[in-house]
Amino acid sequence: MKVRLTVNGQDRSDDVEPRLLLVHYLRQHLGLRAANVGCDTTSCGACTVLLNGKSVKSCTVLTVQASGQEVTTAEGLAPEGDLHPVQRAFRAEHGLQCGFCTPGMVMAATGLLAENPHPTEEEVRAGLEGNFCRCTGYHNIVRAVLTAAGTMSTGATTSTESAQ
Amino acid sequence: MIPAPFEYAAAESAGHALELLAEYGDDAKLLAGGHSLLPMMKLRLAVPSVLIDIGGVNELAYIRTDGDDLVIGATTRHADVAGSERVRSGAPLLAYSAAQVGDPQIRHRGTIGGSLAHADPAADLPMALTALGGSVELMSPSGTRTVPAGDFFTGYFETSLEPGELLSAVRVPRQPGADWGYQKFVRRANDWAIVGAAAVAGRVALANMGPTPIRARAVEQALADGAGPAEAAELAADGTEPGEDIHADRAFRQHLSRVLTRRALEHQRG
């Protein structure tokens, strides 16, 4: 079945099986492997991407459902070599341990800050309730999101620092 | 986990969805947000041969006021119900219940119509619709019928939707300022209720205390007769026969129903 969608700003056109899950399309067809398959049951959030700017779990979206829409993965948050303020804050605050949940956390946090640019700590925790960190590194993750909210509201840009 | 193969058809309008339903018959399932159906298909608990996608049908996504009612289109997402000022002021219990469904990602995809048609007795919205005295609009080629919540939920994951019908809208009475309360007992964040209780304007509904959401009629009667919350809530389990599972046996569910009903009544907000 024909699908046309925009992934990280690039138009994509493919012929896919209707049952192909979006996370498998991203990982296997496009080679975008930031979104992880964790629980595969809409619980853990490791596969979180943005669909038209809103966080969704790509293990529970069919690729055909995303046809005609815009998908953003962690690879598409900032230009090659740069980091998005949320990514930079996760690095600065050590908001990760093993790293498996990180792309999903970053995307959920990015979606959260788009809806609520100035969340309280409680709102960050509630906003990330769909993402599990089995290293239980939640304190630094929450700190990273609050830090990102601070830098984003002061107008810091993504192009002033480069990724190492 | 990957669903079994199926054919996919995107409906362009509600009428087109009905045509597709008529064409494919019992082999077809309607897909809206897919957050009940796709997990079941991945587990192969559901193996439809055709999915008719109504997720992109804009005419089914709206929130309107119609006289004394609030009318919400079936494919309106939980996040949109939860965030709607119109719902928050007219039916705050419904907005709050929508905000309790799953997590933010799930609420961005799941729809009010999908959750109600799925008819999980442990889910948030069937209980809320029952407490609110709401109804659903069921569209078919011969017209639209309105079915009250009490007649819509007929059994465990079963409704009075007929083959060829589409749940097109949800209707709840507007009760601005009415007292309401909502409680659910879960072992894990984001989970379905082991038992839930919702109260609004003297009506009380329970989740997961039977094969469908149920009214706690003895509690309602006691409240109408002037009983206080604690006294009325003692009657919450009267006549119930909740199921037993790994989470709770019957006696514990009945205990929870009394405690949660009392809390829902005591912590009412208007």
Contact (CB<8Å) B108/A54: yes
Q: Are B230 and B144 in contact (CB under 8 A)?
A: no
Contact (CB<8Å) A57/B31: no
The reported pLDDT for the residue numbered A164 is: 39
**What DSSP state is assigned to residue B112?**
H
Whether B219 is covered by a domain: the verdict is yes
Range of the domain at B98: 60-173
Let me know whether B147 and B202 are in one domain: no
Cα–Cα distance list, B242 to B20, B67, B118 (Å): 38, 37, 19
Whether B152 is covered by a domain: the verdict is yes
- Strands (E) in A8-137, as ranges, are 10-15, 48-51, 54-57, 70-72
Above 80 in pLDDT, residue A158? no
Contact (CB<8Å) A40/B109: no
Domain boundary among B154, B173, B192: B173
Q: Are B265 and B199 in contact (CB under 8 A)?
A: yes
Let me know whether B117 and B196 are in one domain: no
Let me know whether B116 and B204 are in one domain: no
CATH number, domain of B168, equals 3.30.465.10
Let me know whether B157 and B192 are in one domain: no
The reported pLDDT for the residue numbered A154 is: 83
Q: What tens digit of pLDDT does each residue of B138-168 get?
A: 999 999 999 999 999 999 999 999 999 999 9
Query: What gap in Å lies between CA B250 and CA B243, rounded to an integer?
Result: 6
Q: How many Å lie between the alpha carbon of B45 and the closest alpha carbon of chain A?
A: 13
Let me know whether B227 and B162 are in one domain: no
Place of tokens 């598409």: A76
> Among A67, A68, A130, whose Cβ lies nearest the Cβ of B105?
A130
Q: What tens digit of pLDDT does each residue of A51-73 get?
A: 999 999 999 999 999 999 999 99
- Look over chain B and give the mean of its residue pLDDT values, rounded to a whole number: 96
Q: What tens digit of pLDDT does each residue of A71-107 get?
A: 999 999 999 999 999 999 999 999 999 999 999 999 9
Let me know whether B146 and B130 are in one domain: yes
Where does the pLDDT of residue B22 fall: very low under 50, low under 70, confident under 90, or very high at 90 and above?
very high
Domain boundary among B139, B173, B207: B173
Q: Are B39 and A41 in contact (CB under 8 A)?
A: yes
Whether B248 is covered by a domain: the verdict is yes
Let me know whether B149 and B66 are in one domain: yes
Which residue on chain B is closest to A46 by alpha carbon? B105
Where does the pLDDT of residue B204 fall: very low under 50, low under 70, confident under 90, or very high at 90 and above?
very high
Let me know whether B103 and B167 are in one domain: yes
Q: What tens digit of pLDDT does each residue of B36-72 get?
A: 999 999 999 999 999 999 999 999 999 999 999 999 9
Let me know whether B125 and B185 are in one domain: no
The reported pLDDT for the residue numbered B190 is: 80
Stated as kind and residue range, the H or E segment containing B39 is: helix B37-42
**What DSSP state is assigned to residue A66?**
G
Considering only residues A164 and B12, tell me which one the structure prediction assigns the higher pLDDT: B12
Tokens of A125: 């925790």
Which residue on chain B is closest to A61 by alpha carbon? B34
Let me know whether B49 and B64 are in one domain: no
Number of domains in chain B: 3
Let me know whether B89 and B29 are in one domain: no
Contact (CB<8Å) B104/A62: no
The reported pLDDT for the residue numbered A159 is: 44
Where does the pLDDT of residue A161 fall: very low under 50, low under 70, confident under 90, or very high at 90 and above?
very low
Sign of CA dihedral B135, B139, B142, B143: positive
Let me know whether B166 and B194 are in one domain: no
Whether B1 is covered by a domain: the verdict is no
Above 90 in pLDDT, residue B97? yes
Domains along chain A? Answer: 2-76 (3.10.20.30), 85-153 (1.10.150.120)
Mutation to test the B interface, candidates A51, A62, A131, most B Cβ within 10 Å: A62
CATH number, domain of B255, equals 3.30.390.50
Whether B2 is covered by a domain: the verdict is no
Where does the pLDDT of residue B3 fall: very low under 50, low under 70, confident under 90, or very high at 90 and above?
very high
Whether B47 is covered by a domain: the verdict is yes
Q: What's the complex ipTM?
A: 0.94
**What DSSP state is assigned to residue A21?**
B
The reported pLDDT for the residue numbered A155 is: 65
Domain boundary among B140, B173, B206: B173
Q: How many Å lie between the alpha carbon of A13 and the closest alpha carbon of chain B?
A: 17
Contacts 24+ apart (CB under 8 A), A92-98: A92/A144, A92/A147, A93/A140, A93/A143, A93/A144, A93/A147, A94/A140, A95/A137, A95/A140, A95/A141, A95/A143, A95/A144, A95/A145, A96/A137, A96/A140, A96/A141, A97/A133, A97/A135, A97/A137, A98/A134, A98/A135
Q: What tens digit of pLDDT does each residue of B24-39 get?
A: 988 899 999 999 999 9
Cα–Cα distance list, A94 to A89, A145, B77, B174 (Å): 8, 11, 34, 48
Q: Are A77 and A113 in contact (CB under 8 A)?
A: no
The reported pLDDT for the residue numbered A156 is: 53
Q: Region A111-130: what's the mean pLDDT?
A: 97
**Percentage of residues in chain B having pLDDT higher than 90:** 96
Above 80 in pLDDT, residue A46? yes
